[in-house]
Chain A
Amino acid sequence: MRAEARSGTLLSAPYVLFLLAFAAYPVAFALALVLMHWDLVTTPSFAGLDNVKLLATDTRFWQAVGNTFVFLGLHLPLQIVTALALAVALNRPMMFRAFWRAAFFLPVVISGAVVAILWNALYATDVGLINALLVKAGIAPVPWLTDPRVAMAAIAVMVTWKNVGFYVIIYLAGLQYIPRSCQEAIELDGATAWQRFRHLTLPLLLPQTILVLTLSTINGFQLFIEPYVMTGGGPLRRTFSVVLYMYTNAFSYQKMGYAATIGVALAMIIGTVVAIQRKVVGTAEAL
């Protein structure tokens, strides 16, 4: 028994060390930094609640929070609808199905910075492919990344495209679990294709939808690379996300204590939003 306990400790040690070094320590460090002033160079000094007080009244921070919610408001519905639609489409028998599935998954494994640069080219106002197609269709070109009204929407579309393959896989797994006989039963019960989706497929995919919602919410709150590479937070700070603001404070202004405070606040916001989602969707599950 003691030998077993010893080998157990030994086997779990690498992971525990990894967790301590790369999860527990940074979290503890960030929590400590909330109470510090630190410019990365000199010795940190105790700041009391200065950082927290500043955060409460920092309009730029709250604007970034608002921007991030705008992003989520556009991104979450778009992400769920596209992932679900693609999964249902890719679940049907078709030619080269494996190819199509791989094709939609590919952007997931490409670096976010690379995708951002690629979409920068697509979105370019004068020479971008998207505007070229619009012009060809007789529609006026849209300044995708320079118009404050559309820039965040353009980023939301791009992020949705990049991540859709991952969520498609989650939905495809869920679709495998819908019993074939249930699909046949509802067909005999008189359902059209849309009614089959509405009354059987969609409700039975609720667990997957909850998972997709939670994961894309957490992921969406951490929006950073896309505005950093494509817009720098502009135009008119409309795409300035919370993480971008945190990054700017940390590495442009060298206010590590304040950046850590933003990080901790973001974690609390994410936790609250996901808890609210669980509460709402959880009641839907009981229906």
Chain B
Amino acid sequence: MSTLSSSVPTRRTTSKPFTWRRLLRWETLLGLVVIADFLLNTKLSPYFLSPWTLSDASFNFTERAIMALPMALLIIAGEIDISVGSTMAMASVLMGLVAKAGFGTPMVCVTGIVVGVFAGGINGVLVTVFRVPSIVATIGTLSLFRGIAYAVIGDGVLKSYKPDFAYFGQGYVWGPVSFELVLFAALAIVFAIVLHTTVIGRRIFAIGANPVAARLSGIRVDAYKFWIFVLLGAVSGLASVLLTSRLGSTRPSIATGWELEVITMVILGGISIDGGQGSILGVVLSALLIGLVTFGLSLLNVPGIVLAIVTGGLLIGVVALSSIVGYSGRRRRH
């Protein structure tokens, strides 16, 4: 089993000990770009290389990176969910209402995650029961969930959170190591183990590689897809807890457009948009890369909207580069 699981990303290279292909493996490429950007940032700003600066840098990507992990699973399984940002908004609004009603922090957190599970369940049912293509289904729920958030609080703001709620988004576990970063690292390890070493992970790859063959070989394809949608919803709820805690308030416009940033992270991480390929390591590296690049640029006072050009350019540039140099793992589908 273990040889099988480790053979997938390197399937085409196992015959030779060293080839250019191996050097051009997606994760290697990403790792080199991460190191290059790290050195560049160090060069550009004298303040970059302090533990506290690096800790600050982690805050601008950990919430998105946490969602990128289950999103990677979903895209590997051949589906997509563009409603995650709206799920976060809906979860945040309900958390705000629960806090306003006087409940304590544990209840607030549970609410956020339960709303996420509920939202993921709706997406899962739309895709697996009603057979709506996931991109279409989640375009609908994207408006629906965000709309519910607006319908509930309009242009208002909810901020009656208890002081101890702030820990999730602002707390530190040890020195400059934030709670968010620890959570992300722990989840990344769990997701990597599940995806790359367990039967569940193998089946997710199988479903993405060929859903028909997977179903015929006895995998309950729809059940897997449904539960990945639910998992993604739950993690979106968790990300909403972190973001709401970090901001200390809820507005219905919270996390607008995050779905595209999360998907960018996943695709940049080498997950094939056609399903069936990719690794958690790649996603972690691409999350680091996007976090470092955007933070480095914001140290140079580049405005946020220009960062969007960089993120988008990075996505196209890196994928185009790999396509031009003939990275064989990406096949044409669209």
* A and B bind: no
